[in-house]
Amino acid sequence: MLNHLNHNESFWEASKDFFYSEKLKSKTVLLSEGEISKKMFYVEKGCLRVWFNSNGKEITFQFFFEGQMVSSFESFWTGQPSLYSIETIEDSIIHTIKRNDFQEVLDSNPSTKKDFENYIYKRLGNYVKLFLSRIADKPEQRYKELLKTNPEILQRIPQHYIASYLGISAVSLSRIRNRR
């Protein structure tokens, strides 16, 4: 799940003037479901979660940590409303680039464009794995896989967000943790 865009010096040299930095408190919404994404965010410090509303219930489906970029890519590229929200869950330092500026960086730097394409392919692969896990694996299997592959989530993320990410209730997550 944790994919890092392979930022090289040429990327930062080409794009540093386009980014602006913000210190944000936890629970700051960067993008709301239904809005059109016009920005991409790079996490210097902190953690973000991506979630959507399902019949009044927040469903968390991804977390982003230091060194990662996030946007509602589908909305960012197509101009369609975002299917999900992005918010900080820790006090964070975020660097933001606008869509037009990011496109200019990609157009002027083919190696950065290739790195970004690879990042998107890896992110798509992770979504497929998450989707299939939700269908095929039992909650305890999903928890064990999370523990194995992304232990930082269990150390930094509140339990109710982890439970939502795993597709279970906080009570069920507590039971699974107690069995260990």
The CA-based angle 89-93-95, given to 5 degrees, is: 115
Q: Which residues partner with 24 through β-bridges?
A: 92
The total domain count for the chain is 2
Together in a domain, 31 and 87:
yes
| Same domain assignment for residues 116 and 142 | no
Residues 116 and 65 in one domain: yes
Q: What is the pLDDT along the chain (180 residues), one digit of tens a residue?
A: 233 444 445 566 667 789 999 999 999 999 999 999 999 999 999 999 999 999 999 999 899 999 888 999 899 999 999 999 999 999 999 999 999 999 998 898 888 888 888 888 888 898 898 888 888 989 899 999 988 988 889 899 999 999 999 999 999 998 998 886
Instruction: Using alpha carbons, list the distances in angstroms from residue 10 to 37, 105, 111, 117.
Output: 25, 10, 9, 16
Is residue 1 in a domain? no
Q: Show the domain range for 142.
A: 137-180
pTM of the model: 0.86
The DSSP symbol for 94 reads E
State whether 88 and 16 are in the same domain: yes
Where does a domain end: 135, 154, 169? 135
H, E, C per residue of 44-80: EECCEEEEEEECCEEEEEEEECCCCEECCHHHHHHCC
